[in-house]
Structure 1
Amino acid sequence: MPITTVSSRDFNQDVGRAKKAAQAGPVFITDRGRAAHVLLTIEEYQRITGKGVSIIDLLSMDAEPDIAFEPGKAEIVVRPADLT
Structure 2
Amino acid sequence: MAYALMTSADFNQNPSKAKKAANEGPLVITEHGEASYVLVRYSDFENNWKKSRSLYDALRHKDSRFDDDFTPERVSFEGRDVEF
TM-score greater than 0.5 by the shorter chain: yes
Normalised to the residue count of structure 1, the TM-score between the two structures is 0.57
- Shift in Å at residue 35 of structure 1? 0.2
**Structure 1 unaligned residues grouped into runs of 5+:** 52-84
Q: Which residue of 1 aligns with 2:25?
A: 25
Counterpart of 2:30 in structure 1: which amino acid? T
- Percent of aligned pairs sharing the same letter: 39
Q: What aligned pairs does 1:24-63 form with structure 2 within 5 A after superposition?
A: 24-51=24-51
C-alpha distance 47-31 of structure 1, shift in aligned 2 (>3 A): same
Q: Matches of 2:49 and 2:8 in 1, distance apart?
A: 25
**Structure 2 unaligned residues grouped into runs of 5+:** 52-84
- Shift in Å at residue 49 of structure 1? 2.1
Superposed structure 1 runs of 4+ greater than 4 Å apart? none
